[in-house]
Structure 1
């Protein structure tokens, strides 16, 4: 026997079932998206701290090699301890080298 396209024993999703699934997915997205955005800010803040620690390490390497602390970021770039004058963190804050080799985050 040849089955027709619309035989009664075929199983399929109804329009109502598909709409319920789409509603559930939409609600999950509305809950998840704000949490992802909030976590992005936390990630950028932690990235800035990690970048500051990396620059502090380069300042200490400079001090060991040159027997003095660098006067500025430009001096560290000129001597090859940093790649560029960019000292911006992922969250937009800037790094600054203070007297005594302290690296600070400046807003």
Structure 2
């Protein structure tokens, strides 16, 4: 019979310790990522609103009138075939005075 003392590898205890460490790291990381998801979406929406507001200002300078979303898209100030929508699903609107806001579609 061969002796098993010279074989190299990980023991069951070592593998369980590694799995425990990985589990603890995942338990710490996952809640932090999901907790920041709403603030990430909020900041993305604020950025989109600011970008559309800049395009409204540029349109006003070029055409001396307050645009609608359709005007901005038709004239090439906004790209895409659909009106802009925030990451959280809010629609971007332009008021009669030219202020850009984001409102929930619900």
Gaps (5+ residues) in structure 1? Answer: none
Q: What's 2:11 paired with?
A: 14
Distance in 1, matches of 2:49 and 2:3, equals 67
Could you give the per-residue CA deviations for residues 9-43 of structure 1, whole angstroms, max 9, x where no partner exists? x6643211210110121121022112111222211
TM-score by length of 2: 0.85
Does the alignment pair 1:80 with 2:76? Answer: yes
CA distance in 1, matches of 2:53, 2:82: 15
CA-based RMSD: 1.8
Q: Given that residues 74 and 85 in structure 1 are in contact (C-alpha distance below 8 angstroms), is that contact kept between their aligned partners in structure 2? A: no
Stretches of structure 2 lacking an aligned partner (at least 5 in a row): none
CA-to-partner distance for each residue in 1:69-88, whole Å, 9 max, x for gaps?
11x21111111111133221
Alignment size in residue pairs: 102
Q: After the TM superposition, which segments of 4 or more aligned residues of structure 1 sit over 6 Å from their partners?
A: none
Task: Please give the TM-score of this superposition, normalised by the length of structure 1.
Answer: 0.84
For the pair shown, which has the larger CA radius of gyration, 1 or 2? 1
- Partners of 2:3 and 2:11 in 1: CA distance: 16
How much has 1:99 moved relative to structure 2? 1.1
